[in-house]
Amino acid sequence: MDILFCTSEAYPLIKTGGLADVCGSLPQALSAPGNDVRIILPAYPEVLEHATGLTSLARLTLIGATEPVEILAGHFNDSNVGLYLVNSPVHFRRPGNPYVQEDGSDWPDNAERFALFARAVVALALGQADTGWRPQVVHCNDWQTGLVPALLSQHEVRPATLFSIHNLAFQGLFPVETFTALKLPESLWSIDGLEFHGKLSFIKGGIACADQVTTVSPTYAQEICTSTFGCGLEGLLQYRSASLTGILNGMDCKTWNPATDRFIERTYNIHNLQHKLANKLALQRDHGLPRGGQPLLLGYIGRLVEQKGVDLILVMLEQLFRHPIQLVVLGSGDRALEKRFEDAAHRYPDRLSVHIGYNEQLAHRIQAGADCLLMPSRYEPCGLSQMYSLAYGTVPITHRTGGLADTIVNLDKTTASDYSATGFSFDDATPEAIVDTCVRALSYFQASRINWWKLVITGMKKDYSWPASAAQYLELYRDMCGLKDSTPENQGLHASSPGLILLNTERQETHIH
Ligand code: ADP
Ligand code: GLC
């Protein structure tokens, strides 16, 4: 199949969180013989710095750009996956984070930036960029790409579209005036289109207009159809439920493998787990914590935002540190939460080490060195850190929600005795539940190291690699294109298939240029 994978970040070119991990590794997992997968990204400075062998492919005249927008082409991460970059310096060549400026506030022209990106994707998807390649499927991810299915839905002859929700709370909401300023087709301003309580919603473009909608775990797929997790879109998601699938994210087992990890103190696997202790001692040494195997060393890696429940950790530090527990925190996000963590680190210098910022190497070293990884997220669409921690023999302590519920087996009497447990979970995201669960983990850790190592090994043996999940995406792509089975003769284009791509010049003119 020919698949255009459309995203605002992809590791290792540009990353702010799990979206990049997924959008860097899923396309490579999809790229089996017979599948031509190409990623399209904005040409941020970091991406231009890391991508090699780029050539200029086309120049497109797009609404929203005063000058033609260049499409650069190359290969993604030395793989078979193709790479397209949308190079519009005025929109994308600026320092720092793709979405926010130095002070943490959104770039004021985000709507223009990602509308332009969407229009470039649409041009490519419809064959207007003269690449000689026309995808059967356009796979979009999160609100930054939400206008792609909406704009493509205006074309009778177009590729099939799939929209993946990685986090429903980020919706790309803008005032109605932006809708007009972006010169979007009038027909899209409706409750079935981009309008959301009088505002322009980018994510609605994906949810309402894509042929299929997915999200990143089966439990989150159910949760977002409820008012608790639906962020106001639960009605639309219920309406689309026949076309909504939860597919669990996979993990990149090359990048996250303790046996080969070049960032960590000492590599290890299930046969030489004693080397994991060297990583714990190194983490304690590097972060000024008293060294030793006895205290339970907890790690937290992630955005410091309300979603992740980190404020719940902050209010229970005193109770937590009554026990032989240490904590290393790596993250950035909400400025107030960052400050509270930094202040707390001063109060508990021999218990708590806090690193504000983004640090890939330290993330690996915490995964390797900690005994447990704390993820008390209020909601978690999938979560990748807990999968990495399983692979690193670092026992997850998690709130039972979304993908955390789908990946972690809580230790209780039954799962302890049949050795199916992989972590410690709690049902309510409250400070008390976090303390209780950490203390439960500590007791298990102290009671018997043999049982602890058994718990660790069960987690390390879990397979959360991509093949099973990538196969589910491929099945959806085939369904969307009317290719019910994968025999070679059925992989071509069918005249009646929605995957058939032909140019519809009149509509292109109207909606893209
Ligand atoms: P989310 O995408 O909601 O932030 P995930 O668990 O899906 O959460 O993915 C988070 C990813 O981002 C992981 O790869 C994690 O290691 C990484 N990460 C988060 N914060 C940091 C940080 N401060 N430094 C390095 N890596 C980080
Ligand atoms: C989002 C979610 C996270 C998920 C990631 C990748 O950032 O918050 O749970 O793992 O996307 O899908």
Provide mean pLDDT across the span 345-368: 97
- The residue to mutate among 25, 99, 384, 473, having the most atoms of ligand 2 within 8 angstroms of its beta carbon, is 384
DSSP calls for 159-210: -EEEEEES-TT---EE-HHHHHHTT--GGG-STTTTEETTEEEHHHHHHHHS
- Which pLDDT value is given to residue 72? 97
Report which protein residue has its CA nearest ligand 2's atom 3. Answer: 383
Confidence of residue 510 (pLDDT cuts 50, 70, 90): very low
- Which pLDDT value is given to residue 502? 30
Structure tokens at 451: 């049982």
Provide mean pLDDT across the span 473-501: 60
- Which pLDDT value is given to residue 485? 58
- Which pLDDT value is given to residue 496? 31
pLDDT surpasses 60 at 16: yes
- Which pLDDT value is given to residue 513? 25
- The residue to mutate among 19, 303, 306, having the most atoms of ligand 1 within 8 angstroms of its beta carbon, is 303
Give yes or no for a contact between 373 and 301, defined as CB atoms under 8 angstroms apart: yes
Confidence of residue 103 (pLDDT cuts 50, 70, 90): confident
Report which protein residue has its CA nearest ligand 2's atom 5. Answer: 18
- What number does the ligand 1 atom closest to the CA of 15 have? 12
Give 346 Cα–ligand 2 centroid separation in angstroms: 31
Provide mean pLDDT across the span 236-249: 98
- What number does the ligand 2 atom closest to the CA of 220 have? 9
Give 34 Cα–ligand 1 centroid separation in angstroms: 32
pLDDT digits (tens, 9 = 90+) for 421-431: 999 999 999 99
Higher pLDDT, 510 or 471: 471
Looking at the domain covering 273-460, what would its CATH class be? Answer: alpha beta
pLDDT surpasses 70 at 252: yes
Confidence of residue 78 (pLDDT cuts 50, 70, 90): confident
- Which pLDDT value is given to residue 96? 83
Query: What average pLDDT is seen over the chain?
Result: 93
Query: Any idea where the domains of the chain sit in the sequence?
Result: 2-250+466-491, 273-460
pLDDT digits (tens, 9 = 90+) for 58-69: 999 999 999 999
| Ligand that comes closest to the CA of residue 361 | 1
Provide mean pLDDT across the span 262-272: 98
| All residues at 6 or more sequence positions from 19 whose CB lies less than 8 Å from its CB, including other chains | 7, 8, 9, 141, 142, 166, 167
- What number does the ligand 2 atom closest to the CA of 249 have? 12
Does ligand 2 lie within 6 Å of residue 141's CB atom? no
Does ligand 2 lie within 6 Å of residue 167's CB atom? yes
Give 512 Cα–ligand 1 centroid separation in angstroms: 35
pLDDT digits (tens, 9 = 90+) for 185-229: 999 999 999 999 999 999 999 999 999 999 999 999 999 999 999
Give 43 Cα–ligand 2 centroid separation in angstroms: 22
| Ligand that comes closest to the CA of residue 219 | 2
pLDDT digits (tens, 9 = 90+) for 154-196: 999 999 999 999 999 999 999 999 999 999 999 999 999 999 9
- Which pLDDT value is given to residue 132? 83
Instruction: Considering the domain delimited by 2-250+466-491, tell me its CATH architecture.
Output: 3-Layer(aba) Sandwich (3.40)
485 class by beta-carbon count within 10 Å (0-12 exposed, 13-18 middle, 19+ buried): exposed
Count of beta carbons in the 10 Å neighbourhood of residue 113: 23
Beta bridge mates, 354:
329
Provide mean pLDDT across the span 485-500: 38
Report in angstroms the alpha-carbon separations of 193 from 110, 190, 230, 447: 20, 5, 17, 57
pLDDT digits (tens, 9 = 90+) for 396-449: 999 999 999 999 999 999 999 999 999 999 999 999 999 999 999 999 999 999
475 class by beta-carbon count within 10 Å (0-12 exposed, 13-18 middle, 19+ buried): middle
Does ligand 2 lie within 6 Å of residue 19's CB atom? yes
Give 512 Cα–ligand 2 centroid separation in angstroms: 31
CATH fold match for the domains 2-250+466-491 and 273-460: yes
Residue list, ligand 1 pocket, CB within 6 Å: 17-19, 21, 301-303, 330-332, 358-360, 363, 382-385
